Amino acid sequence: MITGNGAGTEGGGAVASPHGAYRPRPPAYPGVPPQGMAPHPPAYPAPAPPTEIERALAVAVAGGGGDAVVEVLARTRLYVLVARLHADIPGWTAPLPTIRDEATRRTCVPVLTPGMLPPWHPEWVFRAVTLGELARTWPYNVRRLAVNHGTPYPAMVDARPKHLKAWLRADEHSGGHEHGVLLTDTGGPLYGPLAHGLALGAHLAVTNGLIWNRLGAAYEDYANDRARLRSPWGIPHRAEYRDRLASLMKNQLVGRVQEGVLRTRHTLAARLGRTPTREEWSAAVARTFAARDADDRAPADRSLHHIARYEDRLRADGALAPDGRVDTLAAFDLGRAVNVVRLALGARYGDPHEAEQDVLRIGALARGAYPSWADFSLGYLMARLVHRAEDDGPDAAESTYRQSLAEHRTLTQDPSSPYRNIPWS
């Protein structure tokens, strides 16, 4: 049985803990009146779904098909509220929370879809789960899953044993949440400097199937946000986070040799008044690196080869103009910096105000380094390709090329992309 929630539920009821915690500032959702205010009358139109996930869920619920709702839920991350105190206990996972649905007087397990997460809170965090994980850890005496309870986009899903088996099949069939998709939160920043800064991190958001324009309760989820900071970033605490972010904002991690190779060509082009030939560039690199550490000469030659090769491929695929070139890989550090900020916010290494200020600074740095979204995206793509080719070889980088080109095209061609809707300067 799939239904919408009963009416008259306050926004705070959607994710309240069994002991009524999260009371000082209960979560608020688009279209849900603040605590203490009367709900909208029935005729009041629901707001637009925050993301494509909620839109698909609403369509499935309206169609009345239980299988369709389960299929939507199997393709997305679902979020469970957890006290940070519990989330920080090593080796222990808090049991699934339960709430009482006043409309049906039944006990339910509440979960949220990505677009319905409430604002950031210092002591309450979220754990991302799949439909299969829910089925495997389901409380034996609970028979309902309450999705987005108390919001404009609810679904009440039967959770009897036969339904749990169907969840497992759907989860296995779906392969988990979607990757390589552009997810926009219509309630988040869409225009202006903050949206511009957040859009710099859109490549990784698309790669991981995460919302690109949010500074909120979670990037992926609390545990994964902290784990991603530890590896590969080596960030176990706030002090290290601030140091690493400063390095990214100074473009100190993208690769000194690779940047030197591109800077050599850019300087030569400015002197010649045109893009130098491959031979002219190679000779200039030889002179430049001969005056530096001799150990850098071989890596510089390899970098030049990879950059030239991928520029030729990008021209052939229509992503780079015939006379175009990549002049800096700074986009890789700046784009990753935005994602590190979002991870640190999710890990509670900073607060939303600090994160917002950092994103604004990163946006200003990007505008100083690139003339357009397309140039920024190509710089990011090139850095990713060169590093993969140098670390694992050109053959291993082939899948990275296809994935990166697809993401570049999504961001530069999709009508809903921030790169098509936010002015660069």
Each residue of 251-301: pLDDT tens digit? 999 999 999 999 999 999 999 999 999 999 999 999 998 877 778 899 999
Kindly list the distances between the CA atom of residue 402 and the CA atoms of 40, 278, 317, 378, 408, in Å, as whole numbers in the listed order.
48, 25, 11, 13, 10
Q: H-helix or E-strand containing 334?
A: helix 330-346
Instruction: Tell me what pLDDT residue 407 has.
Output: 97
% of the chain at pLDDT higher than 70: 89
CB 264 within 8 A of CB 284: yes
Token digits of residue 232? 């590969």
Instruction: Tell me what pLDDT residue 65 has.
Output: 79
Report helix, strand or coil for 368: helix
- Dihedral in degrees, nearest 10, Cα atoms 194, 195, 198, 204: 180
**Distance of alpha carbon 66 from alpha carbon 3, whole angstroms:** 9
pLDDT at residue 13 tops 70: no
**Distance of alpha carbon 307 from alpha carbon 325, whole angstroms:** 9
What is the mean pLDDT of the segment spanning 13-42?
Answer: 39
Question: CB atoms < 10 A from the CB of 394, how many?
Answer: 15
Give per-residue pLDDT as tens, 321-365: 999 999 999 999 999 999 999 999 999 999 999 999 999 999 999
pLDDT at residue 225 tops 90: yes
Amino acid at 192: G
User: 160 CB contacts (<8 Å, ≥6 apart)?
Assistant: 143
pLDDT at residue 117 tops 80: yes
CB 105 within 8 A of CB 140: no
What is the mean pLDDT of the segment spanning 76-104?
Answer: 95
CB 66 within 8 A of CB 74: no
Kindly list the distances between the CA atom of residue 414 and the CA atoms of 8, 54, 369, in Å, as whole numbers in the listed order.
39, 20, 24
Write phi, then psi, for 21 (nearest 5 degrees): -75, 180
Pairing of strands 106-111, 124-129: unpaired
**Distance of alpha carbon 338 from alpha carbon 329, whole angstroms:** 15
Whole-structure pTM value: 0.89
pLDDT at residue 25 tops 60: no
**Distance of alpha carbon 286 from alpha carbon 290, whole angstroms:** 6
Give per-residue pLDDT as tens, 92-107: 999 999 999 988 889 9
pLDDT at residue 147 tops 60: yes
Q: Using alpha carbons, select from 411, 248, 220, 226 the residue that is nearest to residue 337.
A: 248
pLDDT at residue 15 tops 60: no
What is the mean pLDDT of the segment spanning 105-120?
Answer: 96
Instruction: Tell me what pLDDT residue 396 has.
Output: 87
Kindly list the distances between the CA atom of residue 241 and the CA atoms of 177, 226, 351, in Å, as whole numbers in the listed order.
28, 11, 13
pLDDT at residue 250 tops 80: yes
Q: How many residues are recorded in the chain? A: 425
Q: Enumerate the β-bridge partners of residue 147.
A: 111, 155
Q: How confident is the model at residue 46 (pLDDT cuts 50, 70, 90)?
A: low
Amino acid at 246: A
Instruction: Tell me what pLDDT residue 134 has.
Output: 97
Average pLDDT, the chain: 89
Token digits of residue 296? 């850098």
Instruction: Tell me what pLDDT residue 45 has.
Output: 58
% of the chain at pLDDT higher than 90: 83
**Distance of alpha carbon 27 from alpha carbon 240, whole angstroms:** 30
Side-chain-facing half-sphere of 200: CA atoms under 13 Å: 35
